[in-house]
Structure 1
């Protein structure tokens, strides 16, 4: 699950699809659901992008544990503040 609204996500996915990094497929059972998959080109850049992320964390002297905590805390923040936006 991605914690972005469709107004943000759709243009991003269109750009990634145009550059042949992803393919979007509607589910047959429920066409409201969209399956996003990496293409071969998308898979090819996945590893180099992960290496860049590691270099960024290393540049700021962030340990793997601290990086994991940051990601965990951001997910919690998004979940608490954006997943229930329709209930506010």
Structure 2
């Protein structure tokens, strides 16, 4: 018989990663509700706050999302007047995303979120850096 112990939930790497991702995302919810955005929308806005005027493909690459997932998300952000989508003049197949004034102003309110999350997790700055480093190491091995 195969080693059935390897199929126990407590033996899996995927389950604690799944559970912690779900729980941490949930910690963001009350703060993001105040801004009237979802966690996915927050991720898109962070990418644009870092560098405005990116293409849908560039944003998708950074967030590991395909355009089928990203497009409805961008439409909702556009409906809320946080972003504008513009087709590139040189190549109309390419859509660039720009922050609107409301999206730029949202950044000031969102700046408090990382420290609030760190406080809820009760992690020191060093623990947080170490955790992110370890997770990024695994992610780099998985992704091309």
Q: Establish whether TM, by shorter chain, passes 0.5.
A: yes
CA distance in 2 between counterparts of 1:33 and 1:68 reads 38
> Is 1:8 the equivalent of 2:69?
yes
Any runs of at least 4 consecutive aligned residues in structure 1 with deviations exceeding 2 A, and if so which?
A: 61-72, 76-81
> Which residue is equivalent to 2:116?
55
The structure that has the greater radius of gyration is 2
Greater per-residue helix proportion: 2
CA distance in 2 between counterparts of 1:68 and 1:34 reads 37
Please report the TM-score for the alignment, with normalisation by the length of structure 2. 0.46
CA distance in 2 between counterparts of 1:33 and 1:15 reads 19
Which sections of structure 1, spanning at least 5 residues, go unmatched? none
CA distance in 2 between counterparts of 1:7 and 1:52 reads 28
> Which residue is equivalent to 1:44?
105
* CA apart distance, 1:40: 0.5
Q: Secondary structure at the match of 1:25?
A: strand
Q: How does 1:6-85 map to 2 (within 5 A)?
A: 6-64=67-125, 66-67=128-129, 70=132, 73=136, 77=139, 80-81=142-143
CA distance in 1 between counterparts of 2:140 and 2:72 reads 20
Cα RMSD of the aligned pairs, angstroms, is 2.9
Q: How many residues align?
A: 81
CA distance in 1 between counterparts of 2:71 and 2:131 reads 29
Which sections of structure 2, spanning at least 5 residues, go unmatched? 1-57
